[in-house]
């Protein structure tokens, strides 16, 4: 299980996510990625196999702009280390990062394929983002779509979700994997551990088992 960082701010979040990654490297990982919601309301995503350094270089060549983003370092449990298996995973305008293992991923995958979802990775995590998208299509809010989705998950997870549907917020949830919120001024953070956020805040809220949070810059 590896690392998650998410930032909801009023300024560019790219460099905050890069610094968060650097601080998560000690946990070990095989690939890394990030997704940022740009000012036009679309998701931009960058993923790389291997060291955060190669992702850093790719990012410097083509920085992603926006004030809402999530990032991930992956330690593969389902599906080999590769770019297509790296997180964030995306469905429509929604992206997620996941730490942990979804035990019932095959059952959920079959259900989602039945209603037309195509899977682009070999991970257990991809079911989560399609589940959320399927609930968003019912016309409910992002937080309610995530709440409904996590009820279907067996296994361990910490997740952070962003969506073009709700461009000002991150929804995060945990069960069996750690997650901490960092409080800033006009910006707020979520991460797997406090080390990832120590450059940006010293005020933390540790989430408890089963917690689900909605996080905006305020
Ligand atoms: N089970 C997921 C995967 O293999 C998440 C792994 C992790 O926690 O990094 O992609």
pLDDT on residue 51: 80
Binding pocket residue ranges, ligand 1, CB within 6 Å: 1-2, 74-79, 85, 98-101, 123-125
> Across all residues in the chain, what is the average pLDDT?
96
Helix (H) or strand (E) holding 157: strand 155-163
* DSSP state for residue 10 in the 8-state scheme: S
Ligand 1 pocket: which of 124, 129, 159, 175 to mutate (most atoms <8 Å of CB)? 124
Give the distance (Å) from ligand 1 centre to CA of residue 88: 11
Reported as a pLDDT band with limits 50, 70 and 90, residue 1 is low
Q: What is the pLDDT of residues 112-147, one digit of tens each?
A: 999 999 999 999 999 999 999 999 999 999 999 999
Q: How many other CB atoms are there within 10 angstroms of residue 44's CB atom?
A: 18
Question: Is pLDDT at 41 greater than 70 in this prediction?
Answer: yes
| C-alpha of residue 45 to centroid of ligand 1, in Å | 18
Give the pLDDT confidence of 150-208 residue by residue, as tens digits.
999 999 999 999 999 999 999 999 999 999 999 999 999 999 999 999 999 999 999 99
Indicate whether 52 pLDDT > 80: no
Atom of ligand 1 nearest to the CA of 72: 9
């Amino acid at each position: 299980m590896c690392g998650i960082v998410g930032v909801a701010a009023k300024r560019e979040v790219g460099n905050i996510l890069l610094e968060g990654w650097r601080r998560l490297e000690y946990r070990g990982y095989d690939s890394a990625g990030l997704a940022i919601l740009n000012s036009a309301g679309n998701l931009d995503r960058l993923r790389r196999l291997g060291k955060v350094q190669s992702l850093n270089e790719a990012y410097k060549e083509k920085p992603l702009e926006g004030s809402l983003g999530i990032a991930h370092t992956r330690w593969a449990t389902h599906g080999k280390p590769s770019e297509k298996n790296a997180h964030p995973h995306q469905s429509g305008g929604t992206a997620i990062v996941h730490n942990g293992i979804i035990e019932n991923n095959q059952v959920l995958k079959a259900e989602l394929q039945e209603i037309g979802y195509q899977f682009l990775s070999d991970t257990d995590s991809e079911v989560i983002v399609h589940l959320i998208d399927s609930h968003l299509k019912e016309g409910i809010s992002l937080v309610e779509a995530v709440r409904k989705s996590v009820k279907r998950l067996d296994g361990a997870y910490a997740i952070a979700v962003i969506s073009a549907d709700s461009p000002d917020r991150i929804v995060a949830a945990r069960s069996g994997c750690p997650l901490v919120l960092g409080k800033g001024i006009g910006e707020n953070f979520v991460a797997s551990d406090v080390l990832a956020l120590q450059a940006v805040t010293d005020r933390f809220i540790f989430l408890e088992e089963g917690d689900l949070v909605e996080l905006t810059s305020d």
